[in-house]
């Protein structure tokens, strides 16, 4: 009571202040709860729809009958359909799903995600180190020019990139999927902010001891900036895993190595799996495929979320 007497003239003022703060905090919690529910509804629907059999989910979507979502209608039939190579058409005939090979889609996506992430991290580390520590003419102007390119929508570069890939014969190759997006200006800027927090005296002392720039980068800067680099790895891999537009343009055919396996990634493969059949009963199967695709990213986020938060906090605090 004595402590509050320093800030409030009387007990009535103190109580009014506490009530006001409690109401404001309650409104904030209510807003955040509603916002969280709004964001979680699609994910909950995807999970439930993945396990409910296709016919029951179709009846639910038509009649809004929540009884169709009961546990009695749950199973793994939708997941079996995702990996199946046949489907039943509108006339009850069994048809072959052309190009359906979900394990190959996953293999393609894994190769592209790991390859593009590796190239992105290497280019980001080297470029960020150059802009943070090395001294050369026009450094600031060049860095400002790179930042200006972030203002250009990525969709504007799709046509020119496609023309280049087509001209050099990179269609249906991993090079087109990996190298085209191997440089990220945002990641360079993001990592440069972390590198600049490292005292320059360490760099000068290393140069006096005869340590090369690459040696200093490898032994000093990279270990210190590892939380930020880990964040870049996770975000880059997630972006490569979820990419759709660019793979849909340059990877719709077969491997050039053997000419048998599809070059599609999981996002494009899922879209094409059921294009032969427009029946509404396929919606639950599509949700099951979406869940299978989303599960690796969810696991990555759960396992490495602390590195993301640590990297964001370190890049935003000076000193």
Write the DSSP symbol of residue 88.
E
Q: What is the pLDDT of residues 45-89, one digit of tens each?
A: 888 888 888 778 877 777 777 777 777 778 888 888 777 765 554
Task: Report the CATH number at residue 158.
Answer: 1.10.3720.10
Do 94 and 86 touch, CB atoms closer than 8 A? yes
pLDDT digits (tens, 9 = 90+) for 169-214: 888 888 888 988 788 889 999 999 889 888 888 888 888 888 888 8
Contact assessment for residue 289 and residue 272, using Cβ atoms and an 8 Å cutoff = no
Give all strands (DSSP E) within 42-155, no chain letters: 86-88, 94-96
Are residue 8 and residue 135 in the same domain, yes or no? no
Mean pLDDT, residues 31-47:
88
**Structure pTM?**
0.75
- 124 with 73, same domain: the answer is no
Give the residue numbers spanning the domain of 209. Answer: 102-315
Q: Which residue, 222, 235, 113, is CA-closest to 174?
A: 113
**Does one domain contain both 50 and 91?**
yes
Within this chain, do residues 81 and 36 fall inside the same structural domain, yes or no? yes
Domain termination residue (choose one: 96, 128, 154): 96
Tell me if 50 sits within 8 A of 287, measured CB to CB. yes
- Which pLDDT value is given to residue 275? 61
In the chain the beta strands, taken as DSSP E runs, fall at 86-88, 94-96
- Tell me the mean pLDDT in the region 78-107: 64
């Amino acid at each position: 009571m004595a402590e509050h007497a320093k800030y409030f003239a009387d007990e009535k003022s103190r109580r009014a202040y506490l009530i006001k703060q409690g109401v404001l905090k309650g409104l904030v919690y209510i807003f955040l709860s509603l916002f969280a529910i709004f964001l979680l509804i699609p994910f909950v629907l995807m999970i439930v729809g993945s396990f409910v059999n296709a016919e029951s989910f179709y009846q639910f979507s038509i009649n809004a009958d929540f009884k169709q979502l009961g546990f009695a209608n749950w199973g793994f039939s939708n997941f079996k359909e995702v990996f199946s190579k046949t489907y039943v058409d509108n006339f009850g005939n069994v048809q072959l799903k052309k190009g359906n090979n979900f394990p190959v889609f996953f293999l393609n996506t894994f190769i592209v995600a790991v390859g593009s992430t590796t190239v992105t991290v290497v280019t980001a580390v080297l470029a960020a180190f150059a802009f943070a520590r090395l001294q050369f003419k026009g450094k600031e102007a060049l860095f400002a020019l790179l930042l200006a390119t972030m203002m250009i929508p990525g969709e504007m570069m799709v046509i020119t990139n496609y023309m280049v890939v087509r001209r050099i014969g990179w269609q249906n190759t991993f090079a087109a999927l990996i190298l085209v997006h191997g440089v990220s200006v945002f990641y360079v800027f993001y990592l440069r902010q972390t590198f600049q927090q490292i005292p320059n005296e360490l760099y000068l002392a290393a140069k006096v001891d005869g340590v090369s720039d690459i040696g200093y980068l490898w032994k000093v800067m990279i270990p210190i900036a590892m939380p930020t680099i880990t964040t870049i790895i996770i975000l880059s891999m997630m972006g490569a895993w979820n990419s759709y537009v660019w793979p849909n343009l340059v990877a719709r055919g077969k491997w050039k190595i053997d000419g048998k396996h599809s070059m599609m990634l999981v996002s494009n493969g899922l879209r094409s799996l059921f294009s032969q059949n427009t029946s509404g009963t396929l919606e639950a199967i599509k949700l099951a495929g979406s869940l299978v695709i989303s599960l690796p990213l969810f696991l990555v986020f759960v396992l490495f979320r602390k590195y993301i938060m640590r990297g964001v906090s370190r890049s935003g605090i000076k000193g």
